[in-house]
Amino acid sequence: MNPTARRNARHYALQAMYQWQISGTPTQDIETQFIAHQIVKNVDLDYFKELIHGIPKQHTALDQEMVPFIRRPIEELDPIELSILRLAIYELQNRIDIPYRVVINEALDLTKRFGSIEGYKFVNGVLDQIARKIRAVEVAGDVKKK
């Protein structure tokens, strides 16, 4: 696994998920468009495809994971930050091969790059709480190491 290729897959998946949220374009059409016109070299295409097809299928359940940790309706969240949260929660739930700290760090990097100025603080707060819930054993193991 190439970390840069995986990071690039997340980058494009975020953009694709934003497009899906805003336009409602079918994910297969978005995949075709991105592969033909957006994606450049050094991208984990399999991971990109997993994300852009898996997140929409699970978006209702992903949203339910964040509801207890946000103070406003999901519809009022910044669309980029919502896409990032969905992506990270998907990874926390479905990709236990990726350490939770990596998931959170990657989400924060995306938020700093594409989100609002202070958005990373919100994303970090939500993901930290969700990680403690979804990956309780892993998080507890990290706490004991300190």
For the segment 90-122, what is each residue's pLDDT rounded down to a tens digit? Answer: 999 999 999 999 999 999 999 999 998 999 999
Q: Predicted confidence band at 144 (pLDDT cuts at 50, 70, 90)?
A: low
Class of domain 3-145: mainly alpha
Spans of all domains in the chain: 3-145
Reported in sequence order, the residue ranges of 1-146 that DSSP labels E, i.e. its strands, are none
pLDDT of residue 127: 97
The pair of three-digit structure tokens given for residue 102, joined into one six-digit string: 């990596």
- Cα 133–9–132 angle (5° rounding)? 10
**The model's pTM:** 0.93
- The token pair at 14 is 């975020």
Q: Of residues 143 and 31, which shows the higher confidence score?
A: 31
Structure confidence at residue 145 (pLDDT): 61
Share the mean pLDDT of the chain.
93
